[in-house]
Amino acid sequence: MPESLRSDAVQLATGATSEKGVSFGDLEARLGRDVPSVRGRARGERVVRAVRLITHAAPVLAALAPLGTPGPLGIARPGLVPWMVYGESLEWLALVCFVLALSGQTWTLLTWWHLGRHRDLAGFTSSVVALLVGVLWLVWLAPSPSIGGVLPDVVKAPVLATVVLAAVSVGAQLFASRPGTLQEARAQARGGLMRVLPPEEQQSLLAERHEVLEVLLTRQLLDRATADQAASLPLGDWWVLDVDEPRRPAHGDTPGGTARRCPASSLANSNMALRCLKAVALVAPFGMMLLPIGNPGISGTGGGMRSVMESDGFSGDTLVTMALLCAMAGVIGQVWTLFDWWRLGRRRDGLWLAWSWTALGSAVVTLVIFPFFITGSWGMQVLTGPILAVATSAAVSLVLLYAASVPGTVQELRKAGQAEDLANGFSAPSPS
């Protein structure tokens, strides 16, 4: 067969050397690059890595941006760096950086949880950096006037949210992590997604896997016993051959019955507490829009609707503070939706679409109606950035849900994860 027509996995097996050995996990990860859904997943992984790199770098940019602007603490001064960012430009740059950092910390925490609570050096480092930069910005914003002419209240909400989430991430990874590597967890998650592909695509991958084994046998890079063991494993479980202490793969036992269990599946390891937190984050933008209900408004005609509790609605600083909390929770909710969409094989879910449309609509309505309830321009100046962050994150979610989803349902993925956990001896949660 010409080299150009060979699959990526076969080419990798052909080029493997006896000195480096064979990584079965790497070989299986290269399977099926000519299968559309698998090829799309591989491209998506590159995009996800690039986006995560941007979110990890955002706090560093936020720390460097004000260094050319004189500040009350004497840390920054003209000439220290070849740029000078101040005033509204610095405010918007800080807003963007910390919203990106908040998104990155949300993704890091969810990855840590759903991939078996294994500590990841890159994720842990990003959390430490985000925490330190966030604390530094809070120190910069404390004096009056603050650094670079920035209005503290304009950027304080995303900074505080990033500090809180980064602190939770650092604490969780330090004190609640489990033994094991993230590579194994990712390999297991990839195997779970392989086993829910359409039957014809699974047969294509199994045939390609057989071709890989034949190449390795021909080149004498593995013996017949190892090849037979690899051929007997379910699709997606070759990674268990790479670990020092063999583990029992899904849907079967290794010979001798002495292997350790695989970790719980990443497709079904959500719990009620996480679901409640996600529900709060998804509902937050709608709640933000409803905050001023019952408030008569600036002119006395801006409201008039009475809430069920006969309240006069939120107003003044309380309204601004509550709206900021809802906005930050709304951003987290949309990032969470994107994470679940990616984790569950890019399947579209009607509930995710509904909540993303709700978040986008609520953000737009909030931008329109809130000026009628807030005196002066200060309140809207503080709220505009966070509300736009909600609208932007919701719009990104909708674009990806509509344009980049693959056929299939979320329910079948969760049921597959539950079945895998039951086969491995875990008490799997409900897939609903």
Q: Are the C-beta atoms of 416 and 195 separated by less than 8 Å?
A: yes
* Cα separation, 249 vs 241, whole angstroms: 10
pTM of the shown model: 0.84
Between helix 272-290 and helix 378-403 the angle, nearest 10°, is: 130
- Tokens standing for 422? 């039951």
Strands 260-261 and 247-248: parallel
- End-to-end Cα separation, the chain, in angstroms: 47
* Cα separation, 293 vs 270, whole angstroms: 35
347 three-state secondary structure: strand
- Tokens standing for 19? 């000195």
User: Alpha-carbon Rg of the chain, whole angstroms?
Assistant: 25
The pLDDT score that the predictor gives to residue 379 is 76
CA of residue 290 relative to chain centroid, distance: 28
118 three-state secondary structure: coil
* Cα separation, 227 vs 75, whole angstroms: 62
- Tokens standing for 70? 């004189």
The pLDDT score that the predictor gives to residue 10 is 85
CA of residue 104 relative to chain centroid, distance: 7
pLDDT tens digits for the chain (432 residues)? 444 456 788 888 888 776 566 788 888 888 877 777 777 888 889 999 999 999 999 999 999 988 877 766 556 667 677 777 777 888 899 999 999 999 999 999 999 998 888 888 999 999 999 999 999 999 888 876 677 778 888 899 999 999 999 999 999 999 999 887 788 888 888 888 888 888 888 898 999 999 999 999 998 888 899 999 999 999 988 988 886 544 554 444 444 444 444 555 555 556 788 889 999 999 999 999 988 876 666 555 444 444 433 444 566 778 888 999 999 999 999 999 999 999 888 989 999 999 999 999 999 999 998 888 776 667 788 999 999 999 999 999 999 999 999 888 888 777 776 666 666 655 544 444
**Nearest Cα to Cα of residue 370 among 311, 285, 309, 307:** 285
The pLDDT score that the predictor gives to residue 168 is 97
Provide the greatest CA pair distance for the chain: 85
The pLDDT score that the predictor gives to residue 372 is 81
CA of residue 350 relative to chain centroid, distance: 20
* Cα separation, 229 vs 252, whole angstroms: 12
Sign of the CA dihedral with 131 first, then 132, 133, and 136 last:
positive
3-class SS shares of the chain: helix, strand, coil, % to 5: 65, 0, 35
Q: Are the C-beta atoms of 25 and 242 separated by less than 8 Å?
A: yes
The pLDDT score that the predictor gives to residue 242 is 82
217 three-state secondary structure: helix
The pLDDT score that the predictor gives to residue 18 is 63
**Nearest Cα to Cα of residue 394 among 323, 329, 325, 334:** 334
* Cα separation, 432 vs 429, whole angstroms: 9
Q: Are the C-beta atoms of 204 and 35 separated by less than 8 Å?
A: yes
The pLDDT score that the predictor gives to residue 82 is 72
The pLDDT score that the predictor gives to residue 307 is 40
The pLDDT score that the predictor gives to residue 428 is 47
- Tokens standing for 177? 């992590």
